[in-house]
Every structure is written in C-alpha cells, then in structure tokens.
Amino acid sequence: MVADMSPSSVKILLTGPPGCGKTTAVIRIVERLDPHKTAGFYTHEIRIDGVRKGFGWKRLDGPEGTLAHIDIRGPLKVGKYGVDVAELERRVVPALDAANARAELFVIDEIGKMECLSKKFVDAVQLLLASDKCVLATVAQKGRGFIQEVKSRPDVTLFNLTRGRCAGTIDEILQMLPFARCEL
C-alpha cells in the first residue's frame, strides 16, 4: 500500500511473521545512514543457552535494557513474559520525542503488544506519525486496536516482509528516505 506522502516526510512500516527479518532490515537501513540524523530504538531476543528468555531494547544512541522477561513479575504480561512498562517509558519513550530537532528519521522496532501496554509509548508514536519527521517502524503482523490503527493509516507505506524479500526491500526503503540518497 503506497500512501500520499510529502517528499520530505515518509512513514514506513514493516510487518510480517516472526523471524522474517524485520529487525534485521531496520538495523541494516540504520547502518547506512548518518547516525546524527536518526533516533529511536530496536529490539532483540534475550537468549540463554539457545532458549528465548525475553526481549531487550537498544536505543540508537547507546543505552539498552530489558523490555520483557520470564523473570519479570507483575500484572503486565504478554504470554509468559512480564513486561517492564516503567523502564520502557523512562528510557525508551524519550528517544521518540518528535521535537528532537536533529533527528530526521525515527526508528521504532516494534509497535507490538508489549510496547502498546504503555500509553506513553502509544502517545509518542501517534505524535511521530502526525509530525513532519520520517518514521521507520516495525509493526506486529497480528493485533487489534492501536496496531491495526497504525497499519490502516492512509499516510504510511506498508511492506509485508517474507524471508526472501528483505534485501530488495532495504534498497527500496533507502531510496524513499529523502536524506539517505547522498549516503548510499
């Protein structure tokens, strides 16, 4: 789905089944851009002895932490994982501040069930999508509410990734980013 976009502000969403390469694509795109023009975060699995124990986050400017883990106790859970919403709000959401003048691209990996437990996260994403900033985000393939709302926006370009479609998609996205052309 290609949306109407101003040439200076694109909103790009990557979706697809788990393990199809959404986060890998985001990281490869960010690696090819000026780090001074990007802000946001990506997620990764926390594995111990080959077994997934949770999910971590890493901001593009360095800080990292835990989003969800089997050892986190509390009322907020997705499946077997307790979600640390307070940590997400304290350390990740500030990286999504649309008023950040230096950032031309905001990276959000991912807009999923865990992240959407935070109203502050949802509000920050809504502000970014309504802003004149470029956004590159991954979004859960399944989900209702805010997840479906984001994918249904008329101003986004939605890429449905499969395992064999990642490399071409990365190049296509880099061509869409107005400030990336000189850095390819």
Asked whether residue 107 is assigned to any structural domain, the reply reads: yes
Asked whether residue 31 is assigned to any structural domain, the reply reads: yes
Kindly tell me if the per-residue pLDDT of 8 is higher than 90.
no
9 in Cβ contact with 133 (< 8 Å): yes
Asked whether residue 4 is assigned to any structural domain, the reply reads: no
Q: Which residue has the higher pLDDT, 183 or 145?
A: 145
- Within 10 angstroms of residue 171's Cβ, the number of other Cβ atoms is 13
- pLDDT value, residue 179: 72
Kindly tell me if the per-residue pLDDT of 127 is higher than 90.
yes
Query: CA–CA separation, 166 vs 168, rounded Å?
Result: 6
The number of domains in the chain is 1
Q: Are strands 134-139 and 11-15 parallel, antiparallel or unpaired?
A: parallel
Task: Work out whether the CA dihedral 158, 110, 108, 61 comes out positive or negative.
Answer: negative
- pLDDT value, residue 147: 95
Contacts of 37 (CB under 8 A, 6+ apart): 102, 103, 104, 105, 179
Asked whether residue 3 is assigned to any structural domain, the reply reads: no
Q: Name which of 66, 76, 71 is nearest 45 in CA terms.
A: 66
Banded model confidence at residue 19, pLDDT cuts 50, 70, 90: confident
Full-model pTM: 0.91
Range of the domain at 16: 11-183
54 in Cβ contact with 43 (< 8 Å): no
CA atoms within 13 A on the CB side of 149: 9
Average pLDDT value for the chain: 90
Q: Name which of 153, 137, 156 is nearest 30 in CA terms.
A: 137
Q: Indicate which CATH number applies to the domain containing 39.
A: 3.40.50.300
Q: Which residue has the higher pLDDT, 161 or 168?
A: 161
Banded model confidence at residue 9, pLDDT cuts 50, 70, 90: confident
Kindly tell me if the per-residue pLDDT of 4 is higher than 50.
no
Kindly tell me if the per-residue pLDDT of 82 is higher than 90.
yes
Average pLDDT over residues 98-108: 88
Task: At 64, give phi and psi (nearest 5°).
Answer: -145, 160
Asked whether residue 2 is assigned to any structural domain, the reply reads: no
- Within 10 angstroms of residue 85's Cβ, the number of other Cβ atoms is 20
Asked whether residue 167 is assigned to any structural domain, the reply reads: yes
- pLDDT value, residue 102: 83
